[in-house]
Homo-oligomer: A and B are copies of this chain.
Amino acid sequence: MRRKSTSGSRPTRPDLAALVAPLGRTLMAAELPVLRAHDLSMWGYTVLVRLEDEPVRTQAALAQAIGADKTRIIPILDDLQDRGLIRREPDPDDRRVRLVSVTAKGRRVRTSAQDAIQRQEERLLARVPAADRRAFLRVLQELSRVSADEFIDPPA
C-alpha cells in the first residue's frame, strides 16, 4: 500500500503540518479577544481548563500537563491566585508541594470564557457538512493523543 512515487514531482497534498499548525495559530488568535474580555491570558485560561478536569497535586505536574515549563507558570498562578480564581495550599503531608485547585469564581470565569470560545468555534465548524465535522473531531481527538516520538522516523 505505497502511494505512487512523488520523486521530482509535486506532492498530492500539502504537508499535514502546513495545514494544522497555521490553523492552530488562527484558532488561538481567535481566542485572544474573548480571553481579553475575561481578563485571562492564554496560559491562565489553559490552567483553569486543566484544573477543571481534575485537581493536580504538584505545580510541576500541572505545568507538564499543559505543555509548559514549571518556572513559566509561576507568575500565571500568582496572578490567578491574587484574583481568587485558584487556590494554592501547601500539602499537609509534604509541605514542599502545593495543592492547586480552582475556586467557584474561577469555575464561573472559565465556563463563561469557554462557552464564548466554543460558540465561536462552532461558527467556524458550521462551514463543513455535519458528517465531515464529526469525523474531523473524532480524528482530531485521536491524533492529539499521539506524541511526537511515537511516529517519528528513526534517524538514519
Given contacts A52-B10, A155-B37, contact A144 B111 (CB under 8 A): no
0/1 string, A119-130, CB within 8 A of B gives 1: 111111101100
* A13 to B: closest C-beta gap in Å: 7
Task: Give bound CA distance, A52 to B14, whole Å.
Answer: 12
Task: Tell me, yes or no, whether A84 is within 8 Å of chain B by CB.
Answer: no
A-side residues, CB < 8 A to B, are 3, 6-11, 13-31, 33-34, 37, 46, 49, 52, 67, 107-108, 111-112, 114-125, 127-128, 131-133, 135-144, 146-148, 151-153, 155-156
Task: Give bound CA distance, A17 to B67, whole Å.
Answer: 14
- Residues on B with C-beta less than 8 A from A8 are 107-108, 111
What residue of chain B has the Cβ atom nearest to residue A143's Cβ? B23
| Closest CB pairs A-B (n = 4) | A21-B24, A17-B27, A135-B135, A24-B24
- Residues on B with C-beta less than 8 A from A49 are 15, 18
13 more CB-based (< 8 A) A-B contacts, given A6-B111, A127-B143: A6-B118, A7-B115, A8-B107, A16-B140, A17-B31, A19-B144, A21-B25, A21-B27, A22-B144, A26-B144, A30-B148, A33-B152, A135-B139
Task: Give bound CA distance, A139 to B25, whole Å.
Answer: 17
B24 and A120 contact, CB distance less than 8 A: no
A67 and B20 contact, CB distance less than 8 A: no
- Residues on B with C-beta less than 8 A from A112 are 7
* A43 to B: closest C-beta gap in Å: 12
